[in-house]
Amino acid sequence: MLAASGRRLAASHRFAATRALSAAGEQYDVVVIGGGPGGYVAAIKASQLGLKTACVESRGTLGGTCLNVGCIPSKALLHSSHLYEEATSHFKVHGIDCGDVTVDLDQMMANKSKSVDSLTGGIELWKPVAPPRFLFKKYKVDYLQGHGTITGPNSVAVALNDGGSEAVESKNILIATGSEPSPLPPCPVDNAGGKIVDSTGALVLDKIPKTMAVVGGGVIGLEMGSVWRRLGTKVTVVEYLGNIVPGVDKEVGKAFLRVLKKQGMKFKLNTGVVASEVVDGGVELTHAPAKDPSKETTDRFDVVLVATGRRPFTDKLGLDALGIETDKLGRVVVDEHFKTKIPSIYAFGDVVDGPMLAHKAEEEGIACVESIAGFAGHVNYDVIPGVIYTHPELATAGKTEEQLKDEGVDYVVGSFPFSANSRARAVGDSEGLVKVLCDKATDRILGVHIIGPNAGEMIAEGVLGMEYGASSEDIARTCHAHPTLSEAMKEACMAASSQPIHF
């Protein structure tokens, strides 16, 4: 450990010297194109390692889709709508009578916007104490507001938002341009019209629709559908596949579907959208069974949310001119160190293969920069958590049963329901379960899947355990505070390694 620390310190001094030399000229060590979770984190890390760094972002605010029109605003609305549902449906159980509870949608949206502004601004503006300081300025990252086009192995042309332009030279160029909603031709999105919207439009509806169709049973559709269902909208999810949240452990996915149906969401599975038409006051949506497209049915909805996934955003980056390869889905092809076929150009995050998650982009951005700086940057893709922030939440990490079967791995299952957890029962929030998958021979944890309150927080214990090669017995023998929801994780691990106590 001391030797490693010494190498890191030496490297830090070396790159500090490099930075001092490059600062005298015009060339950067690193230019990051894209200021989303992967891009701005990579820029900060690069500067921390002593590299002269610039970040190019055209949006006008940092944070990318996640902070501006994705993770953060949707979570703000999910929380607000959850509080409303608690007040209207569950407070009386606790002896709290709020009378006639109403929704002030304008205030709810204002609160959401305040959250976004504080966080996107926080990347630029950092003020733990007065006087205020810019976060990028703190780490000496140059921020270029404009659209970046790669014009050579070491050059970027920036069309600045103010109408000007700037040519930037860099030893290394990092592509972190993220993703955008995938279009659905039978259902063209017009966010300005407010009738057929994507995830961005669903965040700014100016009134609560009576009915909404959500096309797509994935994360975005279920989260945004939950927001509006809680506020009184009748939500119908139209999904082409026979199950929701594809890729999730099937047993867990089926349990999740039952929970959402119980809450009032309707589902049309194995159903494809054929056409749509915006009419007076709503949308006529034509759909048909996936196996028999001739049997068309048309339903009318106030709003249709198209949530059929996302695609890499590479518009006007200049990839074709440079011969940088993309796959059939438009993702930039990179090696294990995030390099494209041009050694000085890298890519990571949503724009490359893998789950389109903010935290995955952050990990890749840091690993990419560490590799450039001479360290062993690494991402363990086997333990990247995924969370759906409905209520209850669904959180998952590692292998599913289906994957283990396909790989021929002998495994054991340990599960424990929240209905047998003291804390969940005491607060009246006991839907769901914890499911743990372990190697039969070694007891090593291979996958953790949770439906329940605070599942997104609880999954961290499973991720940490898998990162360090823990067995189910390791967690089963670790003392957990009582009464807590985390005891369900302990008991699921007890079920895998021996036998649970409370079920």
238 is in an annotated binding site: no
179 is in an annotated binding site: yes
Say if residues 161 and 152 touch (Cβ distance below 8 Å): no
Measure the CA–CA gap between 169 and 155, rounded to whole angstroms: 5
Q: How far is CA 324 from CA 174, 330, 342, 344, in A?
A: 13, 11, 7, 12
Token pair 């005491």 in the structure block, residue: 426
Which of 13, 90, 482, 502 is the catalytic position?
482
pLDDT by residue (tens digit) across 16-61?
A: 333 433 343 469 999 999 999 999 999 999 999 999 999 999 998 9
218 is in an annotated binding site: yes
Tell me the domains of the chain and their CATH numbers: 28-180+312-373 (3.50.50.60), 196-308 (3.50.50.60), 386-497 (3.30.390.30)
Q: Which two tokens stand for residue 432?
A: 């769901």
Q: What is the pTM of this model?
A: 0.92
pLDDT by residue (tens digit) across 61-110?
A: 999 999 999 999 999 999 999 999 999 999 999 999 999 999 999 999 99
pLDDT by residue (tens digit) across 377-395?
A: 999 999 999 999 999 999 9
Q: Which two tokens stand for residue 427?
A: 């607060």
223 is in an annotated binding site: yes
219 is in an annotated binding site: yes
Measure the CA–CA gap between 149 and 167, rounded to whole angstroms: 10
**Catalytic residue list contains 482:** yes
Say if residues 314 and 326 touch (Cβ distance below 8 Å): yes
Say if residues 406 and 250 touch (Cβ distance below 8 Å): no
Three-state DSSP class for 301? strand
Measure the CA–CA gap between 205 and 200, rounded to whole angstroms: 10
Say if residues 450 and 433 touch (Cβ distance below 8 Å): yes
